[in-house]
Amino acid sequence: MLVVLAVFAVFLVSRGCGGPERTPGGPSSTSTGSVPGTSAVARSPFTGLPGRTGGPVLAVKIDNVGTARPHTGLGRADLVYVEQVESGLTRLLAVFSSQLPDRVGPVRSARESDLELLRQFGSPALAFSGAQSRLLPVVAKAPVYDVSPAHAPGAYVRDGSRPAPHNLYAAPDRLLAAAPDASAARDIGFRFGDAPPGGTPQRDRTVRYPNGSVGLHWSAEGDRWLVSFDGDPATTTDGGRLGAPTVVVQYVTVRPSGFHDRWGNTSPYSETVGTGRAVVLRDGKAYDATWSRPDAAAGTRFSTPGGQPVNFARGPVWIVLAPLPR
């Protein structure tokens, strides 16, 4: 009788200590995940992949005109944002944390909308070549660690084989050495896991800007979206073709800012706080979604029309900040 009672007690304890049951629709996760019978696996909140998860965040502003390509180091970014700049061209904001390249660039100047976009990362290090003189005091007051050449001169070098200003490169480890208190990677609203139900099969998609385009082609063999800029395949000097398992086309309001470039062109401002429409591309399908970011310090969440989180495929994520169709 005592043996039976002991066995029953062990059964009750084991039931009480179990984790919550999974809900239908597939699991989603951010920084951690676990397999029954094993300890939790730390995962990057930016990619959903295991590995280095608590590294500091480094954001680098990258040139994207034709003479700036191919890029260097971009294939190691956890996140890549595509933004509209003056004259309808595009520029990139690459976010690194889980891994660092030896060299990254070409590095170019920052814009006002970068500061709002980066608030969700806490206080990251921001590498940029410079900024319009009236914008520099705004950068100084923003919650970022300025690791531009003015503050980390030893981290930068000019490549004599390329024309200026498209030839400034930086060493990420030296950039972070100049910002020892940069925030660690944290939850910015992304969820990773099984794809949501539905979706529309899609092999190709093009996002157009006034004077440029981003092309996306699904590679079933590589299980990722291959990126093109202005009709040309996007490549790197150190890692081949650029692409990502998940690409988010986030439609935003692009309005004039109060700043301009050296030629007098007004700098556009991409509004990333608020709500709007998005399309999440993964697994060769397009999923209609809504993006929501209540304030600058909050992360950005992507939801289905029914209000459920849209899980991303694990791996690097590209976010194309597309102007709202007119």
Residue 53 has what pLDDT? 78
Residue 24 has what pLDDT? 30
pTM of the model: 0.88
CB burial of residue 195 (10 Å; 0-12, 13-18, 19+): middle
Write a three-state SS string for the chain: CHHHHHHHHHHHHHHHCCCCCCCCCCCEECCEECCCCCCCEEECCCCCCECCCCCECEEEEECCCHHHCCEECHHHCCEEEEEECHHHCEEEEEEECCCCCCCEECECCCCHHHHHHHHHHCCCEEECCCCCCCCHHHHHHCCCEECCCCCCHHHEEECCCCCCCCCEEECHHHHHHCCCCCCECCCCCCCEECCCCCCEECCEEEEEECCEEEEEEEECCCCEEEEEECCEECEECCCEECEECEEEEEEECEEEEEEECCCCCEEEEECCCEEEEEEEEECCEEEEEEEEECCCCCCCEEECCCCCECCECCCCEEEEEEECCC
Residue 256 has what pLDDT? 86
Residue 142 has what pLDDT? 97
CA distance 290 to 88: 25
Asked whether the bond before 153 is cis by omega within 30 degrees of 0, the reply is no
Is residue 44 within 8 Å of residue 54, measured between CB atoms?
A: no
Write the CATH number of the domain with boundaries 50-326. Answer: 3.50.90.10
Residue 262 has what pLDDT? 72
List of the chain residues with pLDDT < 70: 1-39
Residue 105 has what pLDDT? 98
Domain range annotation of the chain? 50-326
281: its two tokens: 């591309």
If phi > 0 it is left, if psi is from -120 to 50 it is alpha, else beta; for residue 118 that is alpha
Residue 28 has what pLDDT? 52
Residue 29 has what pLDDT? 55
